[in-house]
Each structure stands twice: as C-alpha cells, then as structure tokens.
Amino acid sequence: MLKVLIIGATSGIGRELARLYAGSGHLVGATGRRQELLYSLQLEYPNNVVTECFDATASGLTGHLQSLTRKLGGLDILIYSAGWGEPQEALDWAVDKATVDINVNAFLEAIHFGWRFFGQQRHGHLVTISSIASIRGNRLSPAYSAAKSFQSIYFEGLYIKARKLNIPLYLTDVQPGFVDTKMAKGPVFWSAPADKAARQIHRAIERKRWRVYITHRWWIIAKLFKHIPAWLYHRIG
C-alpha cells in the first residue's frame, strides 16, 4: 500500500488523483483550504483518506506536512497539485503576489520537505503539476507562466542532482495543457476531463517518467511553443 500526500486535493486534478489512489487501495493524505470538500473525500473513502485543512501560503506548511505524514504512517509519493492564476489585462500586484505565493514559495517549501524526507528514508517520488504555460512568457498571466517555469526548471535541476548524488529519489514534472477544472480560463481547446488527466498522470508516476504532457498530444503544442521564433511569438502572443 502506497502512502501518497496530495497538496491541493479538494478539487480538479488533485482530487481525481486522490480518488484514483484511494480507490485502488492506497492511503492518501489530502490537503486544501475547503474543509467541506476534504470531508466529502474522506466520506467517499473512509479507510483510505486522511486530511489536513490549511492554506499552503500561510506559515506552518512544513509542520502540516509532517503532521499529515504521521497520520499516513509514512510517505512514498508527494504530489504538489495546488496552484492558482488569474489571466488579466492589467498588471495587478495582488494577483501576481498571490500567484507567486502558491506556485513558487509554497511549492518550494513543500518540495524541500519531500526532498529531505525522501533523502533520509532513501526512497520516494516527488511530483509537481506545472503547466504547458511554463514554456513561454504569457502577456495575460506573466507571473503564472514564470511561476510554472520555476517549478519545471527546478524539478529538472533536482532530477539531475538526485542522479549525481546517487539519491534513490524519482521526480516527475507534469505539464498539462487544458484540463476541465476551474483553473482552465479563457478560450480553451483539447481540454481533457480531470479524471482522464489523473489516469494519465497516475500512469506516468508508475512509469517514473521525469516529464509528461497531459493529455499526451500536448507534446505537439509543447514542441511548437519551444521552437516558434521569438519575433513570431511576440507578434501573436
């Protein structure tokens, strides 16, 4: 039985991942700020879900993760699925700050916790849900694309570090395109239901993939995004 901690499991991708792991007999530690949604997840899987309700951007994140790990009785996989962003024409300080708080600062604290914990126990798997948005700057949500780029680049660095230091630790950077959740805003295409996205992410974790595009056909957009010349991207972006 795997012990899986999911930060951001009240809705969307994180919740579907929680249902997938709990439904297949694993033990899930679920977090988020919405207590009623954590409660309903626990009601659905009373023997396979433990919860802790907190704001990941407030102080005390590491303490909450330690407490949840104790409730789980150990930890094998840590998934960072919490995230937020708001496309905007204006450059609003409050929006940018909130975006960086959850997608960079809280992410960093959670991943440090996981890296230390897994390093000491000599096994474990760190997963982040970054985004296709990490590949290029975006005028409507510059902080979000930059923050997701931070997650992705950071994970690649840790992936190399783990191998060089011979630490038996796996890392997976998940880059979704559009998934049908409240995060998907504006004109969307190739959007996948959250349960389908979760199944593909689950498989990628099982296979210990270091990066995966969700759904898989988004690798085409990723390639295009990477190679489109700046002069053209800046005109159409």
**Contacting residues toward ligand NAP, per CB under 6 A:** 8-14, 32-34, 55-57, 81-84, 102, 129, 131, 176, 178-179, 181-184
Nearer to ligand NAP, 124 or 177 (CB): 177
Are the beta carbons of 115 and 127 closer than 8 angstroms? no
Nearer CB in complex with ligand NAP: 10/48: 10
Instruction: Report, in Å, the least distance between residue 187 CB and ligand NAP.
Output: 12
Rank residues 105 and 233 by Cβ distance to ligand NAP and give the closer one.
Answer: 105
Please report how close the Cβ of residue 121 comes to ligand NAP at its closest, in angstroms: 25
Of 27 and 127, which CB lies nearer to ligand NAP in the complex structure? 127
Supply the minimum distance, in Å, between the C-beta of residue 91 and ligand NAP. Answer: 19
Q: How far is the CB of 99 from ligand NAP (least distance, A)?
A: 9
Burial class of residue 15 (count of CB atoms within 10 Å of its CB; 0-12, 13-18, 19+) = buried
Which C-beta is closer to ligand NAP: that of 34 or that of 161?
34
CB of 222 to ligand NAP, least distance (A): 12
Cα gap 136→148, rounded to integer Å: 10
For residues 101 and 61, is the Cβ–Cβ distance under 8 A?
no
Number of Cβ within 10 Å of residue 236's Cβ equals 6
